[in-house]
Amino acid sequence: MVKKPNRNTEGLKEFAEKKNQETIEKVNKVIDKLKRSKTKKINFKTVAEESGVSKATLYNNDILKERILSLRAIEKSNSNVNIEATPKDKIQAKDDKIKQLYEEIKKLKEDKQNLIIQLVDMEELKDENERLREQLTKLKR
């Protein structure tokens, strides 16, 4: 009898969740500090630099991403100088859309490959079925 290794996946999940919560708390403290600051703007770059967290982490965490985006929008609406950030937002939105479309293309290609495999299998089964029918006909005679 082969004994399965004891994997502590629950422990790993708990650790990852704890780490995620610590990151969220650290970033929230920095955001609160930036909100009180009159000199620094709230955006992904400044939050990442101040908190020691990568920008990718901020973009990948939906809670933090939404908070930064909403605070950035509030700051923009309060100030009249938002000409520079608007094109950046449009570029980022287009980049996100392109990334999404590439992922969709990749999935469609995988689906197409799977359908081709199924079609080949179906043709083979069809040929085998025809062969078996011929044999059955010969045996009945």
Residue 119's pLDDT band, with cuts at 50, 70 and 90, is: very high
The pLDDT of residue 115: 93
Least Cα distance to 75 among 86, 63, 64 occurs for 86
* Cβ-based neighbours of 121, under 8 Å, separated by 6 or more: none
Q: Reply yes or no on whether the pLDDT at 133 is more than 50.
A: yes
| Residue 80 in this model has a pLDDT that exceeds 60 | no
Q: Which pair of tokens denotes residue 23?
A: 């990151």
Confidence band (pLDDT; 50, 70, 90) for 83?
very low
Whole-model pTM over 0.75:
no
In whole angstroms, what separates CA 122 from the centre of its chain?
Answer: 35
- Mean confidence (pLDDT) of the chain: 85
Choose among 33, 57, 37: nearest CA to 45.
57
